[in-house]
Structure 1
Amino acid sequence: MTEIRRLDFIGVPSQDADRSRAFYRDVLGLRPDAKAAYESWAGDTCFGAWEPEKMGMAFVPQKGNPLPLGADDVAASRAALEAKGVTFFGETLDTGVCHMAFFADPDGNELMLHHRYAPRG
């Protein structure tokens, strides 16, 4: 049996990898990878833009389970992204444990800003 040790990266399906790279780096502020043109980093998590259609697969945006992007201040991060033209779905949600604000990248992949403010456990 194969041992799965970790999540190596998150694949971000795109119809235009250059546009996707620009969004994740220039709009969201993810760190570019010095060795890989279409990989960007948020902390220890790599986001890799790829074009499924170039691999003979259908492009399908990731919907229904937004990737949670950690932010220290969801309201401030949302305002900064809105100033860059990002459109959010509805108001910021306060669950009593965390704040969440939902949006999508230019390919329709759903994302969220997230901050847990209540102690864990």
Structure 2
Amino acid sequence: MSALVRRLDFLGVPSQDVDRSRAFYRDVLGLRPDPTAAYEQWAGDTCFAIWEPEAQGMPFVAQQGNPWPLGVDDVAATRAQLEAAGVVFFGDTIDTGVCHMAFFADPDGNQLMLHHRYAPPAGGDPAA
């Protein structure tokens, strides 16, 4: 059977204030603006599309319980830079033995994680 799903097209970022969210993702996290879509920004090949569920007649619910992992080169340095910009992290940075992780949220409460794998998975693909 061939794969039914080919890729993740985008992440929908629920917001109650799209301008505030756009400023956070672009100015604080440094995501690349989309030249043709005001509320879309990019991290590598992943589009973060900000939208207001309530404007579509849906309830706003922040994405929680499964933080989106944002790949960075150095979790400690990136965390320090974000903390200097006012971002509050949940707890200490975690070292799992193969990666570092630090958890925080955007202004709407959508949970995010800084992530850096520093060792290949056991028996796995080192490029993973």
TM-score in terms of structure 1 length:
0.97
Q: Cα deviation per residue 1:3-35 (whole Å; 9 max; x = unaligned)?
A: 322110000000001100000000000000000
Which residue number corresponds to residue 114 of structure 1?
A: 115
Within-5 A mapping of 1:12-91: 12-91=13-92
Distance (whole Å) between structure 1 residues aligned to residue 100 and residue 5 of structure 2: 31
Q: RMSD across aligned C-alpha pairs, in angstroms?
A: 1.0
Q: Cα deviation per residue 1:79-108 (whole Å; 9 max; x = unaligned)?
A: 000000000000000011100000000000
Shift of 1:111: 0.1
Structure 1: gaps of 5 or more residues: none
**Count of paired positions:** 120
Amino acid at match of 1:17: V
Identical aligned residues as a percent: 79
Q: Cα deviation per residue 1:20-64 (whole Å; 9 max; x = unaligned)?
A: 000000000000000000000000000000000000000000000
**What's the secondary structure of 1:57's corresponding residue?**
coil
Distance (whole Å) between structure 2 residues aligned to residue 10 and residue 68 of structure 1: 12
Structure 2: gaps of 5 or more residues: none
Distance (whole Å) between structure 2 residues aligned to residue 96 and residue 15 of structure 1: 37
Which residue number corresponds to residue 7 of structure 1?
A: 8
Shift of 1:119: 1.4
Amino acid at match of 1:31: R
